[in-house]
Structure 1
């Protein structure tokens, strides 16, 4: 009894979308990062919210991380 032929691994996202996704996600990530810094600079210590800071940081981190991944994929560095 023979083993079934293995299917090649394929990306769930088409290769042509990599540059667009990289620019879009990095732009969103940088905008959220900028809003985080503006929030930190303009709010007083008494009015800051840890939940808002953590949420903003996580959202910025996720978008910058995936944006960096798609930038590497778009430039031919397959990770």
Structure 2
């Protein structure tokens, strides 16, 4: 026979959504700013592809999760 269905719940408490959104978006914007500063101040020959990729991936992850929590905090369930 079928077992009783267990409701799906979020691994993160709903009360944390606004705080996580602000924190992750702030960190993502700071990393993005450091990426732009690095690109503007370093010469073309002294740039490191690995540093650029790591910085870009970190900024993308923080901004992506920050956007997700911002949508969840505002009631748009994605």
Match of 1:41 in 2: 40
- Distance in 2, matches of 1:40 and 1:27, equals 20
Provide the TM-score with structure 2 as the length reference: 0.99
Runs of 4+ in 1 over 3 A off after TM superposition: none
Match of 2:58 in 1: 59
Number of residue pairs the alignment of both structures matches: 78
After superposition, the CA RMSD in angstroms is 0.3
3-state DSSP of counterpart to 1:53: helix
Q: Mind listing any 5+ residue stretches in structure 2 that lack a counterpart?
A: none
Provide the TM-score with structure 1 as the length reference: 0.98
Question: By how many angstroms is 1:6 displaced?
Answer: 1.0
Find out whether 1:11 has 2:10 as its counterpart.
yes
- Distance in 2, matches of 1:65 and 1:71, equals 10
